Amino acid sequence: MRILFLGDVIGRSGRDGVARHLPELKEALKPDVIVVNAENAASGFGLTHKIADEFFAMGVSCLTLGNHAWAQRELMISIDREPRIVRPLNYPEGTPGKGHVLIDLPQGRKLLVVNPLARVFVEPVLDDPFAAMERLLAAHRLSGNLQILVDFHGEATSEKAAMGFVLDGRVSAVLGTHTHVPTADARLLPKGTAFMSDVGMCGDYDSVVGMKKDVAIWRFTHKTPFPDRKLPAEGPATVCGALILTDDATGLARSIEPVRVGGVLGAATVAAL
């Protein structure tokens, strides 16, 4: 199976970047399934159904979220009507939506997409993401017909690395999101799970992690809120993510390659491009 995963989409710049570059990525990489983290897609905070529908029209199979899942209140009311939008797995019982989705693919294959949310520097009061994953994997066993992609949304690389090793050999891939900066540690873990601490964002990198520079600088230098609201940067986006090739006999990964195209970052794409 060829899985294309794209990191946090930041505002209009990120959405336009995905719309522009996804067709060429699809043509060159031939993914069987596309998953996108969209928790910053609506003006930098949250997701709306209108934006979600735009991604689905592009051929995206599933949208994951993160700590800004409920920034757009409409989603809390209506997420149960759209199973392709996955909120964090370890929210308390009774939270709207689900933390995983099972995607049906040709030839009887399925991809389970899971979205645990980290606690270190992010949401310390949430349920334990490690325990939440154990409960889920007790009911879903990795195989050639059932492959498992984990979008672990977190700040600390240590917590994300720990999750990778805990799940090594039991899921196809553990990919980090949230920091908006692509890391250089894409690799296969010892038992065959693909891992990358953070795949980066789809957004304008002439910014401070996707937000306008003057807004972020003001907050650091003045220690007071900026006179205007925090807004995403609006320049051309770099589309960042990863391509994972899995073994259809075992469900484990055979390779992982970073994907970066467009904008101000240097390209880092697989040989097909």
Report, as residue numbers or ranges, the catalytic residues. 68
Q: Which residues pair with residue 244 across a beta bridge?
A: 3, 256
57-70: burial string, b at 16+ Cβ within 10 Å, e else: eeebbbbbbbbbbb
> Is residue 182 a contact partner of residue 157, using CB atoms and an 8 Å limit?
no
215 sits in which H/E element: helix 213-222
First to last CA, the chain: 19
> Is residue 116 a contact partner of residue 150, using CB atoms and an 8 Å limit?
yes
Of 265, 215, 246, residue with least CA distance to 7: 265
Residue whose structure tokens are 């977190």:
154
Q: What separation in angstroms does the CA of 194 have from each of 76, 98, 156, 199? A: 32, 24, 18, 12
Phi, psi of 147 (to 5 degrees): -105, 155
> Is residue 163 a contact partner of residue 153, using CB atoms and an 8 Å limit?
no
